[in-house]
Amino acid sequence: MGEYVSVEVADQIATIRLDRPKMNALSSQVQQELTEAARLVDADPEVQAVILYGGEKVFAAGVDVKEMADMSYADMSAHSRTLQACFAAVAAIGQPVIAAVTGYALGGGCELALCADFRVAGESARLGQPEIQLGLIPGAGGTQRLPRLVGPARAKDLIFTGRHVPAPEALAMGLVDRVVPDEQVYTAALEWAATFVGGPAVALRAAKQAVDRGMEVDLESGLEIERLQFSGLFATDDARAGMRAFAEKTKPKFTGR
């Protein structure tokens, strides 16, 4: 759909593919195309799961530093809003999203992976937030999404040092969810995504929203978010089909309505 970002849908699984040689640097154009891709798959009722993929060699090496090097404070103040809006669009995709991480996922690349619900990494993958080595800090969600995922102390370690985390350590700290041989990364992500196909799409979207929104508020507010989402599902055909199948001891057939 764009010069550097494409969307392919097969068997109700959408793959958002980054392809900007040679390291998938997230330039302004890539950010714009990625935003459009995220909104496209989110609005497609036929898509039941999404994979973020940068190809066999690299996920994304980060935001295009050359593009930013000569920006003023005023320039970056405006650009950073666009940058965060791009990643927010990816995080807001309603379907389950799996990042298939090969090679490097650094800086903005790591932050992009953090926008997914799950992360599958190759054995030689490296993740990190090296912005501190440029005299900067993460600007696309790293200081916020990373501590929510791995805890504040581990997040500070990665952000303060800028070190690259190998896949086994990333798995141990919860930065990624599965580690597989490099050549199996996309296949593993595809197999995982396939487990959501044919499921209750409305309930999956509601569950994702309840978890994501609930983490941003206090417990009482989060429970209210859950209650409203839970109650709302009783208006869906899928809930009726699921409960009927349970009572009849049959397998439910969900329609996404």
33 is catalytic: no
226 is catalytic: no
Give the Å distances, CA to CA, from 161 to 9, 19, 54, 173, 233: 39, 29, 25, 16, 45
> 3, 33, 123, 131: which one is catalytic?
131
**Contact criterion met (CB below 8 Å) for 121 and 171:** yes
The DSSP bridge pattern shows strands 97-101 and 118-122 to be parallel
* Residues ≥6 apart with Cβ < 8 Å to 59: 18, 24, 52, 53, 99, 100, 101, 102, 103, 104, 105, 109, 112, 113, 125
Rounded Cα distance between 197 and 11, Å, is: 8
> 8, 36, 67, 111: which one is catalytic?
111
Rounded Cα distance between 183 and 3, Å, is: 25
**Contact criterion met (CB below 8 Å) for 47 and 98:** no
- Residues with a known catalytic role: 111, 131
